Amino acid sequence: MVNELLAPAGNLEAVKIAIDNGADAVYCAGKRFGARSFIANLSLEDIEEAARYCHLRGKRIYITLNTLVFEDELKEAEEYIDFLYQHVDAIIVQDYGIVHYIRSKYPDFPVHLSTQTSIHNEQDLRLLKELGITRVVLAREVTLEEIKCFAKVGIELEIFIHGALCFCYSGLCYMSYFHGGRSGNRGSCAQPCRQAYELLEDGKPIAKGPLLSMKDLCFFPEFPKLLQVGVASLKIEGRAKSLEYLASSVRIYRKLIDEFNHGDSPKVDQSRLEDLQASYSRETTKGYLNNETNAEVVTSSKVKHIGLKIGEVIVSNPRQCKIKLSKELCLNDGIRIERGGFETGFVVTRIIENGKMVPASSGTVIIDVKERVPLGSIVYKTSSSKVTKSLKDVTVAKIPASLGIALTPTSVTLSFDALGQHIEEIFDGNFEKANSDQSERIKSQFAKLGQLPFAYESIAFEDKEGLFLPVSEMNRIRGELLAKVEEALSSQKERGLRPYPFANDVPYCYEKERDSLRLNYDQKEEGYIADHLIDGGSLKKESFAFHLAEIGEDSIVSPYLGITNSSSVSFFRHLSKGIIILSYECTPENAVELSKIDANLGYLVEFKEPLMVSKHCVVAAKKGKKGKGCGECSRHHYQLVNGSDVMDLRFSNCNMHIEGKQIKRKEPQGLIPVTLL
């Protein structure tokens, strides 16, 4: 049985809509340290209210703290974590320094490792389990077959099932940082993957367009497959998308999961798919989950919301057009009309069918336009007025509860049971015998729940004396009980003690291992080799670790692991005594501060910009190759061009590396200068 449907929420209203429409949990961000810094996000007060709303309904809330944190921000981040510990169920984390702080200070606070850590192998999962990580949000590049194997490790797995895809392995993208000064790892990605590029083969153009723009993931057509692979959480992407998108996607996937859990076949039908497409959709793919590759995962033309095709223009004049509909059009729907280079979009305010205005139609209709549209134009629905209206009309099932009432001449005992909690309170009083049966009156008064989201399935009543209770006294007692209920249920959070083997600090390295470090890329071994002469002038081959599980006692730790603060240095010192190369994004000032605590830190002074690493291959896509291992990349020299930026393509194990210009930086004092060749 699937444990969780996880929904995005970019603000407090979205939290409530996601929960009311059937999400088991929501993930949100605060005003700092979230990977979608350009949206509203939640204030501290919003987080408290969102947590109350979720917990009162037996749901969960996770906060994303999934950016790299610099040393001068570390104290603020730690104080933020201290606050979150009091309110939310888990934190979604990218920075291993933040992982280290949480696991050391709060061993019962669940840590979910973000997809930004790009975990996609079993060895890393086993190590993370040993470190007490509760859940891993797997890289989007993993397949269903791999997930089935990963599930045997015994750590919770979370995967994306719907929404936008990154072209690059998450966390390994620096294009926005190097080519725009906006870091994806710091929450401000400028989405350069959505731009147009030209592909050169030996200097000659062979393709042009949005070559790096991924289709949106929509695993809906084969969703039943996902329900049997051992995944703890199924995640919808889209904290920056509309409330209509949120409501429709949550509702539809909720229905599929419930049908599966009840023993029925999930109804993967066309009408549900069309509801998903109307609210928001680029071209869609089932993605790497389904082993799709090359042209199957990148868009052919459009990089924005397409919507649902609903008809074609058959008559047109400057003020109106006639549309032959294939699907329903309603008043206040948003539509887009396009043909060739022409495109227009607006909200429909009048629908005429057979000379009469109608609220909706699936036939042939006339609508108003602001300009003449070409005959044969295709009409797409880009927003649904029905979905928008349903945001306010959603009926939320009440949560079952039971109430116990026991009266004596000197006390009232009320007991409340819901969501696995038992709350009992005794209220003192001085009550007289009644002249008539008061049981129904008393039960009715105590059964009022105000705004709490419960409904009593049973009320047990005990009154051996036949007592009379004034309405004012019953209101006071009931109010005090419900306040206790709200406090108890809204404060319950998921907690589970997990030992952390790195809780005790290890000594830092106080002496430099060497004065400089040069690493050469070995094409044959598909990895970096340290150019370090030892006895007899021979070359020492050292482990250059890109993944956690690769790190040995003397390994050189890769800059791709995002080390930007003293807490992350401490984390990796538990794994290696070797040189720790600081993140590509670590500023000179930040690096110098870190060198004061550890002398064996490397700082990149010469390297080619590592813009992206992708499982997708633009060469294979252009050549019409299906699957991996076609060998096309080895026959020519390939480059991507965007304006004045010319980027080389390098290929390793069927992963495509996009590399920019050569960078040279000043050597900061106290650090080991590192050159990557």
At 522, the amino acid letter reads D
Identify the pLDDT of residue 535: 46
Write down all domains in the chain, each with its CATH number in brackets.
Answer: 4-165+214-287 (3.20.20.110), 308-383 (2.40.30.10), 399-490 (no CATH), 517-676 (no CATH)
- Work out the average pLDDT over 577-603: 94
Task: For Cα atoms 600, 674, 190, give the angle at the middle one, nearest 5 degrees.
Answer: 110
Q: Give 398's DSSP letter.
A: P
**Lowest-pLDDT range of 318-322, 377-381, 387-391, 500-504:** 387-391
Neighbouring C-alpha atoms within 13 Å toward the C-beta of 204: 3
Is pLDDT of 569 > 60? yes
Characterize 14-37 residue by residue with b for buried, 16 or more Cβ atoms within 10 angstroms of its Cβ, and e for exposed. bbbbbbbbbbbbbbbbbeebbbbb
Q: What is the mean pLDDT of residues 597-602?
A: 94
pLDDT for 524 equals: 66
Number of H helices, E strands in the chain: 16, 38
Strands (E), 70-120: 90-93, 111-113
Q: What is the pLDDT of the chain when averaged over all its residues? A: 91
61-75, 127-141, 286-300: range with lowest mean pLDDT: 286-300
pLDDT at 537: 44
For 469-529, what is the HEC assignment?
Answer: CCHHHHHHHHHHHHHHHHHHHHCCCCCCCCCCCCCCCCCCCCCCCCCCEEEEEECCCCEEE
Inter-residue contact 337 to 345 (CB < 8 Å): yes
How many other CB atoms are there within 10 angstroms of residue 525's CB atom?
Answer: 10
Q: How far apart are the C-alpha atoms of 582 and 564, rounded to whole Å?
A: 6
117 secondary structure, DSSP code: G
**Are β-strands 655-664 and 601-614 bridged in parallel, bridged antiparallel, or unpaired?**
antiparallel
What phi, psi does 597 have (nearest 5°)? Answer: -105, -15
**Model pLDDT, residue 534:** 46
- At residue 638, the 3 state secondary structure works out as strand
The full 3-state SS of 291-312, as one line of letters, equals: CCCHHHCECCCCCCCCCEEEEE
Under 8 Å between Cβ of 563 and 570: no
Q: How many CA atoms lie within 13 A of 149 on its CB side?
A: 10
H or E stretch at 144: helix 144-150
Nearest Cα neighbor of 255 from 54, 21, 453 is: 21
- Tokens of residue 48, six digits: 């408290």
Task: Please tell me the distance from the alpha carbon of residue 276 to that of residue 258, in angstroms, as a whole number.
Answer: 18
pLDDT band at 533 (very low <50, low <70, confident <90, very high): very low
Find the mean pLDDT for residues 649-675: 92
The model's pTM is 0.92
SS3 599: coil
Q: What's the average model confidence in pLDDT over 620-638?
A: 88
Instruction: State residue 531's pLDDT score.
Output: 62
**What are the residues whose beta carbons fall under 8 Å from the beta carbon of 650, sequence distance 6 or more?**
656, 657, 659
pLDDT at residue 442 greater than cutoff 50: yes
Query: How far is residue 99's CA from residue 116's CA, in Å, rounded to a whole number?
Result: 13
Partners of 64 in the β-ladder = 29, 92
Phi, psi of 270 (to 5 degrees): -65, -40
**Average of pLDDT values for 612-622?**
93
Spatial distance between the Cα atoms of 226 and 289, rounded to a whole number of angstroms: 9
Q: Tell me: the pLDDT tens digits for 180-223?
A: 889 888 888 989 999 999 999 999 999 999 999 999 999 999 99
How far from 102 is each of 79, 117, 158, 190, CA to CA, in Å? 11, 16, 20, 30
**Cβ neighbour number for residue 426 with a 10 Å cutoff:** 12
In angstroms, the Cα distances linking 381 to 6, 14, 181, 325 are 27, 23, 36, 11
Is there a contact between 103 and 496 (Cβ–Cβ < 8 Å)? no
